[in-house]
């Protein structure tokens, strides 16, 4: 798997290291008392001036405008466009001090989300939220199952017409239910499974499952299931007359590096598989590439569940808990802020978030 920093080790609020004492936009307005920025003239500043690491907000919110624009032009989906136009319109941040460096950075504290399934902002936040929850539950899982290993499984079927997507996804869900009852699957301690749909170059749809399985060490010895057997199994439970593409790979354990705990090493080893499993269901580039395809996809996937969990991982993601605070990732990060609420609002014409002092909320309000 990829050797990236595990997201549990990153600041999940994507805050920056901009120092409170050195505001990027208006140093002449520097104040020494809290809140640091409430009074200065900053209406021409953008979120990325304050916090370069919050650039993903601009990127995802601009994509939401693009996707919302597709919905706005379709009579059946105008209500989605209206909801998305409102999504994350105002972001309010507090200042959080890094006790090691003494630097202050912005950390999101308030936002409202539209929860339209294919909204690029909501997909992105949901993915971060699920990843954060996964890593939060990891210490307990490691404690309960110290010897457990992880397997990343991808199950595909041949591309289908986007008009047949709903039937195909229902067949895949049924097949998964049969798969987990098979003898080969029995040793699995827990699993998380998500659905992704990509667009084929010919305008078809390519639905597939990503699954993260927690397995006992015996999985690699007495219970070993060869790749060819996985292909046959998936073909059987899918009731296919061909052999589908299946990818199965073990997450390689890593020895802790210097200064790293065993838990951090485990989290790092899992990072690639976790981010691949708990990501968007359809990438925004596929949505905007073909409007008719995307509108049909929306119709076909209406109210279908795109995530399932089982065994020891059954409650890890808490998929039914999705408040604005959950999506803002303000809960449980343990960071004390200064009580101020700096507002930035979305500017469609600029495709950036801009400082909006009039929408600020004061300290301790």
Site for Zn ion in 221-260 (CB under 5 A): none
Backbone φ and ψ of 304, nearest 5°: -80, 140
Q: Which is nearer to Zn ion, 12 or 121 (CB)?
A: 121
3-state SS, residue 78: helix
x/- mask, Zn ion, residues 61-90, rule CB under 5 A, reads --------------------------x---
* Binding residue count for Zn ion, defined by CB under 5 A: 6
Nearest-angstrom CA–CA distance, 75 and 294: 14
Helix (H) or strand (E) holding 250: strand 246-250
Nearest-angstrom CA–CA distance, 132 and 246: 28
- Nearest alpha-carbon partner for 91 in 352, 299, 268, 364: 352
3-state SS, residue 353: strand
x/- mask, Zn ion, residues 276-315, rule CB under 5 A, reads ----------------------------------------
Nearest-angstrom CA–CA distance, 121 and 59: 9
Angle at 9 between CA 6 and CA 317, to 5 degrees: 70
**Minimum distance between the CB of residue 22 and Zn ion, rounded to whole angstroms?**
33
Burial of 247 (0-12, 13-18, 19+ CB in 10 A): middle
**Minimum distance between the CB of residue 117 and Zn ion, rounded to whole angstroms?**
9
| Count of other CB atoms within 10 angstroms of residue 133 | 20
**Minimum distance between the CB of residue 301 and Zn ion, rounded to whole angstroms?**
16
CA distances in angstroms from 151 to 148, 203, 204, 356, listed in the order given: 10, 31, 29, 46
Q: Which is nearer to Zn ion, 202 or 320 (CB)?
A: 320
Q: Which is nearer to Zn ion, 25 or 59 (CB)?
A: 59
> Between β-strands 342-347 and 90-97, what pairing exists: parallel, antiparallel or unpaired?
antiparallel
Q: At which residue do the structure tokens 């300290």 appear? A: 363
x/- mask, Zn ion, residues 85-124, rule CB under 5 A, reads --x-------------------------xx----x-xx--
Q: Which is nearer to Zn ion, 125 or 352 (CB)?
A: 125
- Nearest alpha-carbon partner for 83 in 117, 125, 56: 117
**Minimum distance between the CB of residue 69 and Zn ion, rounded to whole angstroms?**
14
Q: Is 269 in the site for Zn ion (CB under 5 A)?
A: no
Tokens linked to 89: 């319109």
Q: Which is nearer to Zn ion, 113 or 150 (CB)?
A: 113
Q: Which is nearer to Zn ion, 1 or 121 (CB)?
A: 121
Nearest-angstrom CA–CA distance, 70 and 102: 45
**Minimum distance between the CB of residue 346 and Zn ion, rounded to whole angstroms?**
11
Q: Which is nearer to Zn ion, 114 or 343 (CB)?
A: 114
**Minimum distance between the CB of residue 122 and Zn ion, rounded to whole angstroms?**
4
CB 68 within 8 A of CB 85: yes
Q: Which is nearer to Zn ion, 89 or 244 (CB)?
A: 89
Q: Which is nearer to Zn ion, 71 or 219 (CB)?
A: 71
Binding site for Zn ion (CB under 5 A): 87, 113-114, 119, 121-122
């Amino acid at each position: 798997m990829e050797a990236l920093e595990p997201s549990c080790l990153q600041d999940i609020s994507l805050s920056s290291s901009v120092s409170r004492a050195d505001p990027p936009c208006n140093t002449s307005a520097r104040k020494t008392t809290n809140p640091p920025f409430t009074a200065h003239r900053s209406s021409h500043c953008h979120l990325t001036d304050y916090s370069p690491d919050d650039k993903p907000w601009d990127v995802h919110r601009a994509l939401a405008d693009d996707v919302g624009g597709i919905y706005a032009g379709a009579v059946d989906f105008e209500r989605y466009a209206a909801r998305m136009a409102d999504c994350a319109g105002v972001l309010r941040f507090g200042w959080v001090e890094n006790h090691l460096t003494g630097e202050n950075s912005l950390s999101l504290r308030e936002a409202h989300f539209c929860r339209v399934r294919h909204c690029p902002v909501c997909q992105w936040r949901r993915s971060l939220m699920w990843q954060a929850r996964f890593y939060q539950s990891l210490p307990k899982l490691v404690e309960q199952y110290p010897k457990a290993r992880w397997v990343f499984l991808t199950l595909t079927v041949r591309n289908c017409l986007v008009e047949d997507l709903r039937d195909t996804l229902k067949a895949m869900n049924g097949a998964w239910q049969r798969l987990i009852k098979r003898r080969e699957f029995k040793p699995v301690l827990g699993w998380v499974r998500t659905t992704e749909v990509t667009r084929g170059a010919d305008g078809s749809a390519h639905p597939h499952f990503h699954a993260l399985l927690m397995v006992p060490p015996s999985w690699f010895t007495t219970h070993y299931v060869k790749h060819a057997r996985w292909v046959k199994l998936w073909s059987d439970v899918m009731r296919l007359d061909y052999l589908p593409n299946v990818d199965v790979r073990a997450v390689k354990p890593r020895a802790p590096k210097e200064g790293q705990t065993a838990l951090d090493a485990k989290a790092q080893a899992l990072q690639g598989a976790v981010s691949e499993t708990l990501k968007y269901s359809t990438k925004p580039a596929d949505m905007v590439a073909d409007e008719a395809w995307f509108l049909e996809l929306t119709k076909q996937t209406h109210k279908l569940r795109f995530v399932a969990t089982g065994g020891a991982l059954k409650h890890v993601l808490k998929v039914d808990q999705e408040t604005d605070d959950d999506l803002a990732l303000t809960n449980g990060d343990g960071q004390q802020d200064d009580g101020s609420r700096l507002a930035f609002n979305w500017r469609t014409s600029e495709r950036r978030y801009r400082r909006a002092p009039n929408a600020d909320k004061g300290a301790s309000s």
